[in-house]
Structure 1
Amino acid sequence: MTKNEAEVKNSVFGFGAANDAYAKYFVGKSYLNGLANSDLAAANVANVTFEPGCRNNWHEHEDVQILIAVAGEGWYQEEGKPAQKMVPGDVVIVNPHTKHWHGASKDSWFAHLAIMVGKGKTTWYDPVSDEEYNKLG
């Protein structure tokens, strides 16, 4: 197994199935394990797992998103700001209409809980280029 693969695949939050429904918005392969979805509370919680090098496209949400790193090593970046490394225990609050991306580091699996506060839509943009991504630590 590669770096952090066992940690990610054996997570208490579950590994999930291939994220085929959203594959067109990712570079590389991701996995999704839905943990809680409530129309009443207008919230959704999922464990999202990224293989090494996988990242989602630039995107923004109409509502708040909270990311909690639970395994491996990854990245989070807002447009116009430097990327920040994420390791288990790190928490990022993404404000509404903030263009951003997140994903695994080049040589590590990565998993985070994604908590969507609200049922607003997500707008997807271009992928993070290999040139941009390969400059990261």
Structure 2
Amino acid sequence: MNSFCLFVFVACVLFASVSANEILVRQIRSCQKQFPKSESRTLPDFDLDLLTKDDKCYLNCIMTVQKVIWNGGFNVDALEFNVNNPKIADKFRKQCGPIRHTDKCEYAARLQKCIEIVIRKTPTSHFPTLD
């Protein structure tokens, strides 16, 4: 009987994970529909001055559905879960946490740029691998 309960528990956890991923995919698609992709969004190292207002609002939408932006502020915990390294999360917190802007789209773009800078300056060995 215990193995059956364990099986049901594992199945529920897996189902919840799949459901959460499906919800996230739907939310991201909704952001893509709201803010159609432009050429400036494909730049590898984007320049804030080249991004359109829609590009910046797209970033805000994505970062909000991923809970990187929560209640109008930077939610480092959402990144820490992904990078799984408290030292890197602390770098994000110290370098990107102080960023403020009254326009939520501009805020998202500046926050994204900061996150990219931290990632670029951090050795790849500090990030988890997808093995």
Q: TM-score, normalised by structure 1?
A: 0.30
Q: TM-score, normalised by structure 2?
A: 0.31
